Structure formats: C-alpha cells, structure tokens
Amino acid sequence: MDQPFVTEREVAPARGTREPARVLPPVSAVMPVRNEERHLAEAVRRVLGQDYPAELELVLAVGPSRDRTEAIARELAAGDRRITVVANPSGRRPSAMNVAVKAARHDVIARIDGHALLPGGYLRTAVTCLLDTGAADVGGVMAAEGVTPFQRAVAWAMTSKAGVGSAEFHTGGGAGPALTAYLGVYRRSAIEQAGGWDEEMLIAEDWELNYRIRALGGLIWFDPSLRVTYRPRASLGTLAAQYFRYGRWRRVVARQYPETVSLRYLAPPAAVSANAAGLIAGITGLAALAGGEPAAGYLALGFVIPLVYLAGITAVALGSGMPARIRALVPVVLATMHMCWGAGFLTSPRRLARNTRAAAGRPLRPSSAGPGPGHGPATPPSSPSSPSPPDLAPGQHASGTMNHGL
C-alpha cells in the first residue's frame, strides 16, 4: 500500500516554544453528526480553535436527526467558510465518514466525533506523530470524564481495567504500534487504498478499517498524549443499550476474523453464562427444598457464583478511591457493562454480518513481517526494537497489553 508523500507547508513554531519551524500539511477534519444539538457547537469550536499552523477545514456529515443538528450545522457553516456540510441520508456513522472524506480537500484526514472535545494542541501533536512515525493512522486515548455522579462512575469504569481490561485507548499506556486507537488522524491514501469504512459495520467500524489498513502493510500508532474528552452515557438504560450493542458487534468481528479472538473477549459472555447458571441452579435448589426434596437442595449452592461476582465488583468499587456517592454506583455500572456486553455477544444474530465487506470477500490478515516501503520507519521512534504490528488479538497493543476494540 504505497502512500504518496503528504504535501507540507512551512509554518511557525508552536507558541511559547523555541523549537525550529516545523513543516506541517493542511488537514481536513471530518465529523459525522446526528442528534448532536447539545454538543455540536462546542465540538466544532474545539476543532476550528486548534493551535494548528497550517490550513484546516471541517466537513460535517449530517444524518437525519430528531433535533436541530442540521440547522445548527448550516448556521455554523454560514458563519465560517472553513466548514462544509454534506448530507448523510442513511444516518450511519461509517457512511458519514465516507461521504465526508469524499468531500474533503486535503491529504491528512482527522476523524472527529460530534461529542468529542479536542484539546488545543491535538492536531499539531497528531500530525507531527503521523509524519515522524510514517504511520497510516495515529490515535490516542478516549479520556472519559463525567459531570453527574452517575457519569463519573461510568468514566471511572471506562478507564479501569475492571471495566475494560488493559485497554490502552481507555486506560493509557506506552506509545507504539497498535491494533487500533481512539478516533484517528489518517493519511487519506491509507483510507482510500483500504476501501474506506465498511458501511455495514455499525459498531467497531474504526477497528475494522484499521484491520484492513494493517492487512495492506500500514502502521497504526498509539500516542497516549492524544487525550480527547469523552462524555459517558448519562443513564443506566443508555449505558446498558450501548454495551449490549458493543457485545453484539464484537461477536460479528469474532465471526469474520476468528484469528483475532482472545480469551479476554470471552470473559463477559462467560460471566453472563456462569451467573445465569448459578441463579438457575440456586432457584431450582430452593424450589426443591421448599417442595420437600432435600436431595436436590444442594443446587441452592449455585447462588455462590453470582454472590462471588457481586463481592468482586464491590471490592473493586471500595478500592476505587472515588467519593462515597460515586463509589456506591460503581458496582451497578460494572455489572451493567459486563452483563450487557456479554449478553449482546451471546445473542448476536448472524444477520448483522450478512452484508459486511468481510462477509463478501475477506481481506488478507495483517502481516507480521513489518511495514512495507512508505509505511513507517524500520525502527519506530520510542520503540527501537518494535516491528510493525504483528497479528494481534483484538485490542492487543504491540507491547503485549490489551486495547479495548469497541
């Protein structure tokens, strides 16, 4: 996958530094938006207010919304010529990314979410890293931050190994080659040569695109200094629905790319199965005792399984260091994330994957032989002995730790 040279321009050094002038290319930020009335204006302000010393445009791909998202997008575009609005009739996020990239003018594509809050130096850091590493995509950390007590409990769970495992783009980690990363600043050529986002992958679409980029020899680079603020779901119902969908689509990934399945991704469905079996056995045992059949009463010991699970997540909450009000919510949040993700995985129907790109014709597996010409330095910075990412399990960072793939 030969990547053309990215056009660069001479720019002034970063404010407050003594570094020599750096040459950076123009950037097209692309943002899929739908039902983002509350967050859109602030997200746009964070993008266009970047301390980025070269040309910057923003393409908003607007899907059918129940609120004023489209009106706000067009008002913003009318007030700033750097903003372009394009329609995304399907409302699907991968479709939005494809139409936005098609409308974009530049060779570096920054993929932004409509509710993501970028720090001021995000694009400068990301593009510099893209050029220094020769990567096809550079991304960082989803820095979950809550406002309400419930959101703060969710944010803690999303940045804890108890909630998402050793997931670099949630919990942090060392810079280096990765399977995927949060959001991402891409070389346009890498996106186009991989065929763009699969419009049937409604969840894990970035993971799946990065898989195909790696299959073509491209390098995905994780930089923990790229921290983007993410607001977690605000209610138990929306959190449950979110993680149920995550589990369903992780099963799609497991079916299409079975070599990427790891024991870690089997933990939530195993927990659901064990807890369900324990509850059924326990209830059966109690019924037997109540019916005068003590021989079957031993089944009541099945309650030990869910009790041990609850004791475990409660112990985790007690050790979280959070204020008591938030600490009390952590077990509920963890149980919701684990059980809904696992239930989604176990009940995921095969029809979800029927029309995906992989179902039609599966791409090559990522090579462990290292990047080809133009796909990053032979020895990446900060990791002198690391090759291009090998065939990692879903979410596995090249260092051997795990990255949450959804």
pLDDT in tens, 274-300: 999 999 999 999 998 888 887 777 888
Residues 156 and 100 both lie in one domain: yes
33 and 98 co-located in one domain: yes
How much is the pTM?
0.76
209 vs 196: CA distance, rounded Å: 7
Same domain, 262 and 228: no
Q: Decide: 69 and 13 in contact? Cβ < 8 Å.
A: no
**pLDDT 10s digits, 334-361:** 999 999 999 999 999 988 876 676 655 5
Give the Cα separation of 309 and 10 in Å (integer): 57
Of residues 278, 322, 276, 325, the one with CA closest to residue 301: 278
Lowest pLDDT segment from 44-58, 73-87, 102-116, 149-163: 149-163
Arithmetic mean of pLDDT over the chain: 82
User: Which position has the higher pLDDT, 401 or 73?
Assistant: 73
Q: What's the per-residue H, E or C state across 218-277?
A: CCEEEEEEEEEEECCCCCHHHHHHHHHHHHHHHHHHHHHCHHHCCHHHHHHHHHHHHHHH
Q: Find the mean pLDDT for residues 62-71.
A: 93
Q: Smallest Cα–Cα separation from 326: which of 176, 194, 157?
A: 157
pLDDT over 70, % of the chain: 79
Place of tokens 């992958």: 201
Strand partners, 30: 59, 111
Looking at the structure, do residues 172 and 298 belong to the same domain, yes or no?
A: no
Q: Would you say residue 399 lies in a domain?
A: no
Instruction: Summarize pLDDT for 252-263 with one digit per residue, the tens.
Output: 988 888 888 877
**Residue-wise pLDDT tens digits, 185-243:** 999 999 999 999 999 888 889 999 999 999 999 999 999 999 888 888 899 999 999 99
Give a yes or no: residue 221 inside a domain. yes
Instruction: Tell me what pLDDT residue 404 has.
Output: 38
Mean pLDDT of 247-271: 87
Degrees, nearest 5: CA angle 128-161-248: 90
Kindly tell me if the per-residue pLDDT of 71 is higher than 50: yes
DSSP state string for 123-158: HHHHHHHHHHHT-SEEEEEEEE--SSHHHHHHHHHH
Among 89-98, 185-194, 385-394, where is mean pLDDT lowest? Answer: 385-394
User: For the chain, first and last CA: distance in Å?
Assistant: 26
Q: Tell me how far apart the alpha carbons of residues 224 and 205 are, in angstroms, rounded to a whole number.
A: 21
Helix (H, G, I), strand (E, B) or coil at 69: helix
Do the beta carbons of residue 29 and residue 110 sit within 8 Å? yes
- Residue 53 and residue 139 in one domain: yes
Comparing CA positions, the residue from 210, 187, 204 lying closest to residue 28 is 187
CB atoms within 10 A of CB 195: 14
Please check whether residue 237 lies inside any domain of the structure: no
What would the mean pLDDT of 138-157 be, rounded to a whole number? 90
Please give the residue range of the domain that contains residue 180: 9-232
User: What is the structure's pLDDT at 117?
Assistant: 86
* Total length of the chain: 406
DSSP states along 288-336: HHHTT-GGGGGGGGGGHHHHHHHHHHHHHHHTS---HHHHTTHHHHHHH
Answer yes or no: do 69 and 198 share one domain.
yes
d(C-alpha 245, C-alpha 343), whole Å: 10
**What pLDDT does 399 receive?**
31
The domain spanning residue 211 has which CATH number?
3.90.550.10
Contact 244/340 with Cβ under 8 angstroms?
A: yes
Given a cut of 50, whether residue 391 has pLDDT beyond it is no
Helix axes of 236-256 and 330-347: crossing angle, nearest 10 degrees: 40
- Both 146 and 34 in one domain: the answer is yes
pLDDT tens digits along 175-197: 889 888 888 999 999 999 999 99
pLDDT of residue 21: 61
What would the pLDDT profile of 11-55 be if each residue is shown by its tens digit?
A: 445 555 555 567 899 999 999 999 988 889 999 999 999 999 999
Q: Which of 13-17, 129-133, 388-392 has the lowest mean pLDDT?
A: 388-392
Q: How many domains does the chain have?
A: 2
Distances (CA, A) of 361 to 189, 259, 357, 358: 21, 16, 6, 5
Higher pLDDT, 62 or 291: 62
Residue 357 confidence (pLDDT): 62
- The answer to the question of residue 361 being in a domain is no
63 and 128 in a single domain? The answer is yes
Of the candidates 128, 135, 402, the residue with the CA atom closest to the CA atom of residue 265: 402
Q: What is the C-alpha to C-alpha distance for residues 387 and 369, in angstroms, rounded to an integer? A: 8
* pLDDT of 70 over the 50 cut: yes
Q: Considering 350, 368, 399, which residue would you say is the last residue of a domain?
A: 350
- Whether residues 142 and 211 fall in one domain: yes
Establish how many alpha carbons lie within 13 A of residue 131's alpha carbon, considering only the half-sphere containing its beta carbon: 18
pLDDT, position 392: 31
**Cα–Cα distance measured from residue 312 to residue 205, given in angstroms and rounded to the nearest whole number:** 33
Residue type, 196: G
Residue 240 in domain: no
Question: Do the Cβ atoms of 126 and 224 come closer than 8 Å?
Answer: no
Instruction: Specify whether 125 is located in the same domain as 165.
Output: yes
Task: Give the residue, 154 or 361, on which the prediction is more confident.
Answer: 154
Residues 150 and 73 in one domain: yes
* Cβ-based neighbours of 125, under 8 Å, separated by 6 or more: 223, 225, 226
pLDDT at 7: 46
Query: Checking DSSP bridges between strand 23-24 and strand 108-111, what pairing results, if any?
Result: unpaired
